[in-house]
Amino acid sequence: MLRKLFHESGFVGALIGLLLFAAFPFYWMVITAFKRDSDLYNLDFNPFVFNEPPTLEHVNLLFTQTAFVRWVENSLIIGLAVVAITLVTAVPAGYSLARMGGRKAESLGIGIFLTYLVPPTLLFLPLARVISLAGLQDSLWSLVLVYPTFTIPFCTWLMMGFFKSVPRAIEEAAIVDGCSLLGAFVKVVLPVSLPGILTVVIFTFTLTMQEFIYALTFISTESQVPVTLGVATDLVRGDIFYWGSLMAAALIASVPFAILYNLFLDRFIMGITGGAMK
Amino acid sequence: MGQVVARRLRKEFGDVAAVDGIDLEVRDGEFMVFLGPSGCGKTTMLRMIAGLEQPTSGDIVIGSSVVNGLPPRSRGIAMVFQGYGLYPHLKVRDNIAFPLRTQGMARAVIEMKVAWAAGILGITRLLDRKPRQLSGGEQQRVALARALVREPTVFLLDEPLSNLDAKLRTSARNEIKEFQRDVGTTTIYVTHDQVEAMGLGDRIAVLEHGKLRQVGTPSQIYEDPADTFVATFLGAPPMNLLERGELIEGFRPENFLHQDLQQKGIEPARYSFKVQRIEYLGNERVLYGFIEGQPDGHEYTARISSHVSEPVLREGGTYPFTVHPKDLKYFDKSTGKRLAAARNGGRA
Amino acid sequence: MSADYAAIAPPSARRVRWSLDHADFLGSLLVAPAVLFILCLVAVPFFLAIYYSLSAYNMGTLSFSFVGLDNFIAVTKSEIFRRSLANTLLFTVASNLIALVLGKIAALVLLREFRGRMVVRCLLILPWAVPVALAAITWRWMLDSMYSVINWVLVHSHLVPAYVWPNWLGEEGLAMISIIVIQAWRLFPFSAIIFLAGLTSVPKTIIDAAYVDGAGYWRRTFQIVLPVILPIMMVAMLFGLVFTFTDMSVVYLVTKGGPTNSTQVLGSLAFQVGILSGDVGRGAAISLYFFPFLLVATFFLLRYLRRREI
């Protein structure tokens, strides 16, 4: 009996502790974004509540006096472009490796996957040179060129796992019905693997949007930055942090991730561990 | 000793009763099979006896003690799971030793017992391998050794053969039977395969929808089924059932004969059998067809041994078939239960 | 893909272009773009980095001159470098360890069925889901030298006298603690997810067998469950370690390596020297110090990727 009580209180304690630790910063984001400056910067006020009525002035400032919207557009452009490149390269590669079978394919698959380990903080120096040689410095297209270096390895491995679970029988049926090998792939395997491809799209999109190091290295013009870089660096005028707007920006930019991850979490898990546990 | 008694055992999951009030006794040293289709409650029964599930109501007695609240390790039972449940990361030796280590036995004693169990199962040379390096049959022996090493009062086996391919199943089945005969421990074996049950069990308990339909030796269950469920579940092809007014008349395909028994002074039941198709199976032929007077589309079967020489039967032909009266079983149409004696000779 | 396909396909299929039917050719063709991309934008730059590290290459002068191992020697002698290396090790090990423990606890909490479990899961995922830049500035605000909400709580629970509160980002030891906590905060949801996936993938049969064999909760966990899920756990942990070891985001965004290089890590140092100061040769030398660690990690990763019990 006492043991059960101990277990229960331990459970509740852990639950509350973890929740506070994980979610408090977001609560803080929300409340800061809508607090008046006079409320925010007053040390006598209770910081956890609205002591003065909430305001939309920070959000307003964000949308009217900063390039926030432009940054979001940039992020979207980069995201979509990288998704396109990744799909075109990683999906066929994953299929080929899944079907080729044997040691060669497994080794190549692991090899491709391991390039994911090569860190941006090693590659950014030579890549900076490559980017300037290509004339892409300070342009968001530099990121479109570079981001696939980590999305392709990971997504190839993901798709390898997905394709392995597609039964060969349906491809063989298509071939007997008259398709070429490529035709079978396009007409039969791809439609069946849409869930896997969707996972790749979501993963790639979120990975590119979260990236920071390459963006910081290659882009300095405010009009070309993606949203996460812009919020972190360009919303600081001089040495003064406009926390209200900063938090408003952080909040707005975070929401899509919160939604996407929660919607697709099960897919993510299946993708990561499914691939690892084949 | 090693008897197991279930008294008014009941297990509910939500509002579904997986086990619906079962009274059953397993005698000391016998090989009892729980047989039934999926969802009949046989595995739930086994898990309650093991202590992996707690009954909603009712008692379980092992030996002379009620074990209801006790954890598995205190019940004197050992279990072999479907798929064997061998610890993949441990060597065979450590797999077998595991249940002894949990009891805190001295290492020397453990080594001795492991060697003994491995010897009985003939797997001494496999002791240093890992499960994934073993064949299906070898894995079974390791699972049995792991169960044996605790010298339990009762062995519980949960469909251990269902993951094996057909050919392996027969030899694995024999090994289990011989093993049990050698050690003599009370054994409860769960399966949905009625051939397995008939081959292995000293007695069979047939379950359906959480209820115990019949308990008896294989021949009792086969020859004297308690209801239509048992009658059709045992035997393949299943017993032929015909509607006769308020009754159901049943006879097994092998008793559905093409000969005229009148010659032997017996007045048999007569049927007009229109043969639709014949399967030649080597040792016998199975005939599928319709019986005149019975609803259309309802197929009946007859089994004829190949070495019975007789006029050739053809597909599409109609022939007079007979059944010896002693092979006729009657069941109540509404309850399905077996009726002791035929009324009016059984024919309306 | 095997030659069997070509054999069973009817003649009409064979009339299609040779390249689309020849399995091996098609296979290589499909992998080619990915492999090409990786070769050009990962392999080549990697070797370029080695090349740079062996030269005195300045963004300013844009001239090459081979200097052999001079850069490496200079770097190793640098006090700041050694400090960064030590910081990196501390940062990596501490944050991953905390994330591991928190992740395990979170996984156990999420294993239990309780009302609102889905909501809790959504909230616990957030630190991992949100981009590092946004999270980092939020933490920066939470740890602000004047307006830190944490300090407000400390003062108002009388644990710290007013106006003499800790300067989380401005004091050496505290700054390190801060970035460790932030990194652990980022990592633990991933750890929890992997734990959950691993735990639920252990076949129930084995756990039942252990229970019947008399193993109590702790024995079951440590002697049966943990060893079986170890490979996947190790792969996840190795990734976490490599990722943290080479990362510079949290450091750059929250402390910029300060105060006085007390939170400088290899990644941020390489950035500062190679990009901000333009000394490419030296910067490359610094980041090449990742290489031995990557090799070791790769070695273990390969071992665990191949060795999966389930």
Residues A7-21: tens digit of each pLDDT: 888 888 889 999 999
Distance between CA atoms of B36 and B159, rounded to whole angstroms? Answer: 11
Over residues A123-176, the pLDDT tens digits come to: 998 998 888 888 888 888 999 999 999 999 989 988 888 888 888 888 888 877
Across A37-59, average pLDDT: 80
How many other β-carbons are positioned within 10 Å of the β-carbon of residue A237? 9
Assess whether pLDDT exceeds 50 at residue A251.
Answer: yes
Domain annotation covers residue B234? no
- Whether omega for the bond prior to residue B237 falls within 30 degrees of 0, making it cis, is yes
Q: Which are the contacts of C244, defined by CB distance < 8 A and separation ≥ 6?
A: C91, C92, C95, C96, C183, C187
Tokens of A69: 């919207």
How is residue A262 written in tokens? Answer: 């929660």
Shortest CB distance from B50 goes to which of C205, C210, C212? C212
Cβ-nearest to C232 among A21, A32, A277 = A277
Full domain range(s) for residue B254: 242-346
> Which is it for strands B203-208 and B31-35: parallel, antiparallel or unpaired?
parallel
Residue C61 forms part of a structural domain: no
Per-residue pLDDT for C60 more than 70? Answer: no
Domain co-membership, C159 together with C239: yes
Is B328 in contact with B346 (CB distance < 8 Å)? yes
Q: Say if A232 falls within a structural domain.
A: yes
Task: Judge whether A50 lies within some domain.
Answer: no
**Residues near B311 by beta carbon (within 8 Å), at least 6 away in sequence:** B258
DSSP C192-219: HHHHHHHHHHS-HHHHHHHHHTT--HHH
Average pLDDT estimate for A181-195: 83
Instruction: Name residue, tokens 């296979």.
Output: C27
| pLDDT band at C1; cut points 50, 70, 90 | very low
The residues in C 225-244 lying below 8 A from B, measured between CB atoms, are 227-228, 230
Q: Is residue A151 part of a domain?
A: yes
Q: Check if B50 contacts C (Cβ < 8 Å).
A: yes
The answer to the question of residue B228 being in a domain is: no
Q: Which of A29, A125, A179 sits opposite C13 (nearest CB)?
A: A179
C60 interface with B at CB cutoff 8 Å: no
Give the model's pLDDT for residue C308: 58
**Cβ(B42)–Cβ(B36) below 8 Å:** yes
Distance in angstroms (rounded) separating the CA atoms of residues C179 and C168: 10
Residues paired with residue C279 on neighbouring β-strands, in sequence order: C58
Whether residue B109 sits in one domain with residue B62: yes
Residues C162 and C235 in one domain: yes
More confident residue, C63 or A244: A244
Looking at the structure, tell me whether residues C230 and C96 fall in a common domain: yes
For residues B255-265, average pLDDT: 77
Contacts of B84 in chain C (CB under 8 A): 205
Residue with tokens 């999305």: A151
> Are A18 and C102 a contacting pair at CB < 8 A?
yes
Lowest mean pLDDT among B3-7, C93-97, C142-146: C142-146
On whether both B150 and B260 belong to a single domain, the answer is no
CATH code for the domain in which residue A79 is found: 1.10.3720.10
- Would you say residue A83 lies in a domain? yes
Instruction: Report ipTM (2 d.p.).
Output: 0.87
Q: Dihedral sign, CA of A225, A227, A232, A237? A: positive
**A touches which chains (3+ CB pairs under 8 A)?**
C
Q: What is the C-alpha to C-alpha distance for residues A193 and A167, in angstroms, rounded to an integer?
A: 11
Q: How many whole angstroms separate alpha carbon A144 and alpha carbon A65?
A: 27
Count CB neighbours of A124 within 10 A: 26
Q: What is the torsional sign of CA C241, C244, C247, C248? A: negative
Number of structural domains (chain B) is 2
pTM for this structure? Answer: 0.79
Give the whole-angstrom CA distance, residue C144 versus residue C166: 10
Residue C66 lies in a domain: no
Same domain, B209 and B264: no
Give the residue numbers spanning the domain of C188: 74-306
Cβ B204 vs Cβ B217: under 8 Å = yes
Q: Across the strands, what pairs with B5?
A: B25, B61
In this structure, the answer to whether residues C114 and C256 fall within a common structural domain is yes
Residue A267 has pLDDT above 90, yes or no: no
CATH code for the domain in which residue B54 is found? 3.40.50.300
d(CA A267, CA A118): 25
Asked whether residue A60 is assigned to any structural domain, the reply reads: no
When divided into structural domains, chain A yields a total of: 1
Domain-embedded: residue B182:
yes
Q: Please judge whether A115 and C42 are an interchain contact, meaning their C-beta atoms are less than 8 angstroms apart.
A: yes
Q: Do B106 and C221 meet the contact criterion of CB atoms below 8 Å apart?
A: no
**CA B152 – CA B155 distance, rounded (Å):** 7
**For residue range B23-82, what is the model confidence (pLDDT) as tens digits?**
999 999 999 999 999 989 999 999 999 999 999 999 999 998 999 989 898 899 999 998
Assess if residue C120 is contained within a domain. yes
pLDDT in tens, C231-247: 888 888 998 999 999 99
Please tell me the distance from the alpha carbon of residue B334 to that of residue B1, in angstroms, as a whole number: 42
Chain C residue with minimal CA distance to A122? C287
List, in order, residues 6 or more apart from B279 with CB less than 8 Å away: B285, B286, B287, B288
Alpha-carbon distance A121 to nearest alpha carbon in chain C (angstroms):
5
Taking the CA of residue A118 as centre, how many other CA atoms within 13 Å lie in the half-sphere pointing to its CB?
Answer: 27
| CATH code of residue C191 | 1.10.3720.10
Question: Cβ distance B328 to B240 under 8 Å?
Answer: no
Could you list the residue range(s) of the whole structural domain that residue A211 is in?
65-276
Tally of domains in chain C: 2
Whether the CA torsion C199, C204, C205, C207 is positive or negative: it is positive
| Within a domain: C200 | yes
CB-defined contacts A:C, below 8 A: 288
Look at strands B186-191 and B154-158 and give their pairing. Answer: parallel
Supply the pLDDT for residue A22. Answer: 92
d(CA B246, CA B334): 8
In a domain, C59, yes or no: no
Q: Do C214 and B77 count as a contact with CB atoms less than 8 A apart?
A: no
Range of weakest confidence among B37-41, B80-84, B165-169, C39-43: B165-169
pLDDT value of residue B348:
36
Report DSSP letters for B86-116, one per residue. Answer: --TTS-HHHHHHHHHHTTT--HHHHHHHHHH
| d(C-alpha C237, C-alpha C235), whole Å | 5
Same domain? For B206 and B86 the reply is yes
Residue B102 in contact with partner chain C when CB distance is under 8 A:
yes
**Same domain, residue pair B310 and B167:** no
Which residues are within 8 A (CB) of A212 and not within 5 positions of it... i.e. 6 or more apart? A228, A229, A232, C131, C132, C133, C249, C253
Query: Does B235 fall in a domain?
Result: no
CB B204 within 8 A of CB B33: yes
* DSSP 8-state code for residue C40: I
Q: Are B189 and B220 in contact (CB under 8 A)?
A: no
Greater confidence (A2 vs B130) lies with B130
- What local confidence, expressed as pLDDT, does residue C16 receive? 45
Say whether both C132 and C221 belong to one domain. yes
Q: Do C203 and C247 belong to one domain?
A: yes
Please state the rounded mean pLDDT for residues B325-334: 89
Q: Which two tokens stand for residue B31?
A: 């090989």
Question: Which of B50, B83, B88 is opposite residue C309, by nearest beta carbon?
Answer: B88
Can you give the pLDDT at residue C103?
A: 93
Residues B119 and B32 in one domain: yes
Task: Mutation target for C interface from B98, B133, B162: give the one with most C CBs within 10 A.
Answer: B98
**Tokens, residue C80:** 């700041």
Q: Do C26 and C115 sit in the same domain of this protein?
A: no
Write down which residue in B166, B195, B223 finishes a domain.
B223
B146 contact residues in C (CB cutoff 8 A): 213
Q: What is the CATH number of the domain that holds B283?
A: 2.40.50.140
Residue-wise pLDDT for C99-126, tens only, equals 999 999 999 888 888 888 888 988 998 9
Is B51 an 8 Å CB contact of chain C?
A: yes
Strands, sheet with B284-291, edge to edge from the N-terminal-most edge strand:
B300-305, B284-291, B269-280, B318-323
Q: How many residues does chain B have?
A: 348
Do B218 and B284 sit in the same domain of this protein?
A: no
Q: Same domain, yes or no, for B192 and B304?
A: no
Contact A227, A215 (CB under 8 A): no
Q: Is residue A16, in this structure, part of any structural domain at all? A: no
Cα A240 from Cα A270, distance rounded (Å) = 44
Which residue(s) pair with B66 in the sheet? B61
Report chain B's terminal Cα–Cα distance, integer Å. 52
C/B touch flag: 3 or more CB pairs below 8 Å = yes
According to the model, what pLDDT value does residue C22 have?
64
Q: Residues with Cβ < 8 Å from A130, sequence gap 6 or more? A: C41, C45, C48
